[in-house]
Structure 1
């Protein structure tokens, strides 16, 4: 495999980092930023995204969350919708790397028990998510399901939700439980083997 600093993302590629909180996603994204050629790559954390409105709303949701699980997930989806034009633009001129996708909305919002099915059905919730995310298709999804420390947001149902979503998406790949250095090498090798990255020159 080429040395990490010689790798460049393929134009138009969409890579997603998903999974449980405290499972190493942020660490690996920061290491990826430090090793990939930065040319024409957009990194986006969802749902805080690229606009002041969505960053402020995300901060509010993190610090003063609504009592209703449905209200929280609808607020997340409003951030997704607001950022969609910028995400689509990013794929036209370069590559897009997403820190969380719509899977988090389903895993934590639906499977995690945050939404009362008597208020909103799963099919209606999925239809709403699909309509918002229709413009973006992930080429590959790296799924992190091995937390390195406890987090109150994680539970068995959320993990099960991620596993069920992965079964329906052949482009999803479970990242093995390894130390950060080994995981970084795994991610870089994965990008090359899947054709998402190659030599910069």
Structure 2
């Protein structure tokens, strides 16, 4: 599979827990590199030394944070990530693939935890970077729950939230997709891995062809 894409494109992968983002973003990175593209694969929270330290705190099941503190930590990590890694990579003409970005904050902290979404929008505008394409993966709750149960790793802090929280997040992502149709694409991630990857490739080819 060959994908032709504009240099300096910024693509984000979004969705709830266990929708297959990590699998699909790694496959896309490999496909793009095989086609000769220079690719930076990163994640949020994380991507830089400081942001990864914040990630460790946020995902630790032993951590207890008020919703606003949780939100501000996300943006602290993001500010460093964007300034230190993402913007320089885009300036070089690299393709940046990021596992979660600002839409996750709106879905998790806004729709999920109830933080005023206007506050999140303001903080997002301060970051000043919008993806060229956002792929929002979604699966039925039963599939996501089965995938989480099959994981050997101890669930992180966000994976421990209940089904009502997951439903609010899913509704949030759908609302984001509906509000930004030119940037966002909903991807059915309930089928075979190869089929999902093909859908993603077709979407990127349609939206970001040079």
- Please tell me the TM-score bracket, short chain as reference: 0.7 to 0.9
| Per-residue CA distance 1:10-45 (angstroms, 9 max, x = gap) | 211111111111001111012112222264211110
Moved more, 148-157 or 160-169: 148-157
Tell me which of 26, 41, 44 is aligned to 2:42: 44
C-alpha change, 1:11 and 1:168, in structure 2 (3 Å) is same
Contact 1:54 / 1:79 at 8 angstroms: preserved in 2?
Answer: yes
Tell me which of 184, 195, 203 is aligned to 1:172: 184
Contact 2:41 / 2:97 at 8 angstroms: preserved in 1?
Answer: yes
Alignment of 1:78-93 (within 5 A): 78-85=76-83, 86-93=85-92
1:168 and 1:126 map into 2 onto residues whose CA distance is: 13
In the superposition, the TM-score normalised over structure 1's length comes to 0.83
The offset of 1:144, in angstroms, is 0.9
Tell me which of 139, 143, 155 is aligned to 2:166: 155
1:47 and 1:32 map into 2 onto residues whose CA distance is: 20
| Per-residue CA distance 1:99-158 (angstroms, 9 max, x = gap) | 11101111110111253xxxxx432332122212x1x22121111121533254452111
Match of residue 110 from structure 1? 110
Tell me which of 10, 18, 34 is aligned to 1:14: 10
* Runs (5+) with no aligned partner, structure 1: 116-120
Superposition misfits of 4+ residues, deviation over 4 angstroms: none
Match of residue 70 from structure 2? 72
> SS state of the match for residue 76, structure 1?
helix
2:201 and 2:76 map into 1 onto residues whose CA distance is: 32
* Runs (5+) with no aligned partner, structure 2: 146-158
The offset of 1:161, in angstroms, is 1.0
Tell me which of 57, 65, 72 is aligned to 2:54: 57
2:203 and 2:120 map into 1 onto residues whose CA distance is: 32
Which structure has more helix as a fraction of its residues?
Answer: 2
1:62 and 1:78 map into 2 onto residues whose CA distance is: 15
1:84 and 1:9 map into 2 onto residues whose CA distance is: 21
In the superposition, the TM-score normalised over structure 2's length comes to 0.80
